[in-house]
Each structure stands twice: as C-alpha cells, then as structure tokens.
Amino acid sequence: MGSKARLWSAAALACMLLYAPYAPAASAAPQKFDLICHGKLEDRLLKKVIEFKAAFSVDVRKKQICDEQSCETLTKTDARSLVSDCDAHDGGRFCDAERIDSTAGPFVQGDQIVVDLVTGRFSRKMWGELGDRAPRPFHDEYAGVCRIAPFKPHKPTLFEHDASPPSSR
C-alpha cells in the first residue's frame, strides 16, 4: 500500500473514531411506543371492505403487541419490522385468547401482524370462527399504514379511534 493510500486510510479511521460517539445507535430506537394505524379492512367471507382506525401498544423488551382487548407475542423484532405470527394449530390454543368473553367467541385460530417500521406499511390477517351452536368462519384482512406515537401506559382501544373491534359482527 502506497503512502497516499495509508494517509487516506488513517484519515478515514480518524474521522470514524472522532464522529462515532455522535452516530445514532441501534439501541436508541424506542423500546415502548404506540402505533396509530388506518386503512382498509376486508372481510373476505362477506366480501365487504370498510375503513378502519386502530391503535396498538408495543413493548419490544417484553416482545408484546397489544390491541384493544389482548396482547400477542412479537415473533420478530428488528430495526425495520415487527411481526406477530400466531397459529393456534401449532400452539394448541387460541390466538387472542383474552378476547374470548363468551361461548360464542370469536375463536381466533390465526393472527398475523406485520409492520414495516421504515415505511409504516401495516397488514393484519385474522381468521377463526364465531358462534357456539352453528359456528361460522371469519377471515379479516387489514391493510394500511401506521405512525409511531408516544407510548401510553394503558392498552389503547379501537373505540378511542372511532372504529369497531374486529371481533364485533
């Protein structure tokens, strides 16, 4: 390596060391925050599309994402995305089990939430059954965008944002 190349390498290294303390650290990303989301909800079985607004509380340390009634485990968290992927067939339980407040359900058998933290893109797919005597299937798909908001110490509710919860039919 020539003397000019060594000089440039040394200068580059000095600059990196000099400015490294000011570079944003990956750990500086918020560990607790809310997501305020809106978009379209498609009821795939009834072939109906409506607007939705929703809020979620996210606690990355606890690996939890909570909606209006229940919390699910985050199965992937990184600087770019959040994913919660529940399949009741794998775990032998219902997803959103806290949401079940009657013998009519909803009995959520699958719930997948994906948030791109860079673009704000949001999707959620929920499927399962409603009813206790003659259960009928449901399959809802959400698509929209979210913005990050300050964390609130309570579970946000969809009702606070002028929408009905996905479980009401």
* pTM of the predicted structure, to 2 decimals: 0.69
Question: Which whole number is the average pLDDT over 145-166?
Answer: 62
| pLDDT digits 0-9 by tens, 41-70 | 999 888 899 999 999 999 999 999 998 777
- Residue 90, pLDDT > 60, answer no
- Pull the structure tokens for residue 31: 């560990």
- Pull the structure tokens for residue 160: 């606070």
Domain 31-161 top-level CATH class: mainly beta
Q: How far apart are CA 66 and CA 154, in angstroms?
A: 10
| pLDDT digits 0-9 by tens, 134-146 | 788 889 999 999 9
Number of CB atoms found within 10 A of residue 36's CB: 15
